[in-house]
Amino acid sequence: MESTEQLCNASARGELEEVLALLQAGTYVNGRNRFGRTALQVAMLGNSALVNALLEAGADPNVRDMILKLTVTHDAAREGFLETVRVLVDRGADVNLVDENGNLPLHLAAKEGHLEVVKLLLELTEDPQKTNDLGHSALKLARDAKHEETADFLEQCLGSCE
């Protein structure tokens, strides 16, 4: 258990060399820390090389947070980490999983106005017009949050107006 805590802590701090050493020493990449989270779930998401190393070691990109049912892709999309979202997708992350409120990663990226992430996710999302549990689409979330450039892009690509 101690090595799992060490791996999670190093991952959260973005310490790639420490993460690689712990993985090479045999630390289970999908082990959970005392808070019930894996190293990937607590990883410094702006460090796409670290995320990639965890995924190469077999980290599950689709593991869900126990509380809100968020995946790491939801978190990276919400925070606007384009390269990390790209790495996750390239390594098998499912962008069509919803959180406990019915939000896709696309919804969260649109709501925060992360246009480049929205562009990437739009190509990969099965139903980009899907609504969350409150009946809001990515377009509506972007428009309501006053992210006009993102909303205009979505409107143009989706060919509809809400």
Tens of pLDDT, residue by residue over 91-107, are 999 999 999 999 999 99
Average pLDDT score over residue span 28-49: 96
Q: How many helices (H) does the chain have, and how many strands (E)?
A: 10, 0
Predicted TM-score of the model (pTM): 0.94
Distance CA 117, CA 1 (A): 35
Q: Indicate whether 161 pLDDT > 80.
A: no
Average pLDDT score over residue span 103-132: 97
Q: Give the tokens for residue 15.
A: 């310490």
Q: 3.40.190.170, 1.10.10.10, 3.40.309.10, 1.25.40.20: which CATH number matches 1-60? A: 1.25.40.20
Report the sign of the C-alpha dihedral through residues 76, 80, 85, 87, in that order. Answer: negative
Q: Give the tokens for residue 126.
A: 């099965």
61: amino acid identity, one letter: P
Residue pair 72/88 in contact (Cβ under 8 Å)? The answer is yes
Q: Do the domains 1-60 and 62-162 sit in the same CATH topology, yes or no?
A: yes
What is the Cα gyration radius of the chain?
16
Q: Indicate whether 162 pLDDT > 60.
A: no
- Show me where the domains of the chain are located: 1-60, 62-162
- Class of domain 62-162 (CATH, top level): mainly alpha
Contacts of 108 (CB under 8 A, 6+ apart): 74, 77, 78
- The pLDDT of residue 159 is 75
